[in-house]
Amino acid sequence: MRLFSSPATPFGRMATVTIHECGLAGRVEVVHASGTPLDPGTMPVAQNPLGKIPVLELDDGRAIYDSRVICRYLDHVSASGLYPEGPALWDVLTLEATAHGVAEAALLMAYEWRLRPEELRFQPWVEGQWSKAARTLDAVESLWTPLLEDPLTGAHIALGCALGYLDFRHDARGWREGRPRLAAWEAGFAARPAMLATRPVG
């Protein structure tokens, strides 16, 4: 299998962390791909016409994409149990989607200053994205920390990568302030070997 990804994307990192956690590092070749909505660059558009990463190319040549689909597939083929059966599954999927929402808002904020000319940047829109992320982190702090004490799931991986991306691109926002339980959880989770092996730099 081949995973098209980039260390800088939180969604690609979710897939690479899952590869490590599922013991699949020896079975998946990670291929660097990069681009933006303005220029697809080396994005695998033949495998994903949306021009987004990550994309997982299977051994039979088929491709699957969207990090949530990829993570579910990796968990399936490895029988790692990152997605529980029964009613507990819905909490895991909801928290996973919540983490994706934080990562999406943070990515849109980064695109505003990385891609848009300075004279066209719209700060109220950036602040609106941050408000979504901050409000969501408050909800995780108050409602979801008990689930974070459960055994590892796809939701843990998604949230850890979303918080790591906030540190990577928006460290000045200080997301830990006022969220001591979430901050303490992240400190422990970030020390996992899979997280250390996939930490973005630069």
What pLDDT, in 10s, does the model give residues 32-50? Answer: 999 988 899 999 999 999 9
Within this chain, do residues 10 and 47 fall inside the same structural domain, yes or no? Answer: yes
Q: Do residues 21 and 158 make contact, with C-beta atoms less than 8 angstroms apart? A: no
CATH number at residue 109: 1.20.1050.10
What CATH number should be reported for the domain holding residue 21? 3.40.30.10
Asked if residue 172 has pLDDT above 90, the reply is yes
Q: Per-residue pLDDT for 64 more than 90?
A: yes
Do 105 and 132 contact (CB within 8 A), yes or no?
A: yes
Per-residue pLDDT tens for 143-157?
Answer: 999 999 999 999 999
- Decide if 198 is inside a domain: no
**Percentage of the residues of the chain whose pLDDT score is greater than 70:** 100
pLDDT at residue 201, rounded to an integer: 84
Peptide bond into 54 cis (omega under 30): yes
Q: Are residues 168 and 94 in the same domain?
A: yes
Say yes or no: 93 and 184 in one domain.
Answer: yes
State the alpha helices, DSSP H only, in the chain. Answer: 10-21, 67-78, 88-115, 123-139, 145-148, 154-170, 180-189, 193-197
| 121 and 74 housed in the same domain | no
Q: Which residues pair with 29 in a beta bridge?
A: 2
pLDDT of 202: 72
**What is the signed CA dihedral for 20, 69, 199, 176, rounded to 10 degrees?**
-120
| 199 inside domain | no
Average pLDDT value for the chain: 96
**Domain annotation covers residue 142:** yes
Containing structural domain, residue 52 = 2-78
Domain total of the chain = 2
Terminal Cα-to-Cα distance of the chain (whole angstroms):
28
Q: Does any domain span residue 83?
A: no
93, 185: one domain: yes
Q: Does residue 184 share a domain with residue 100? A: yes
End-of-domain residue from the set 78, 97, 119: 78
Can you spell out the DSSP letters for 144-178? IHHHHTSSP-HHHHHHHHHHHHHHHHHGGG-TTTT
Among 78, 106, 122, give the residue marking a domain's end.
78
How many Å separate Cα 192 from the centre of its chain?
16
For the stretch 66-90, pLDDT in tens is 999 999 999 999 999 999 999 999 9
Residue 14 inside a domain? The answer is yes
* pLDDT for res 136: 98
Q: Percent of the chain at pLDDT above 90? A: 95
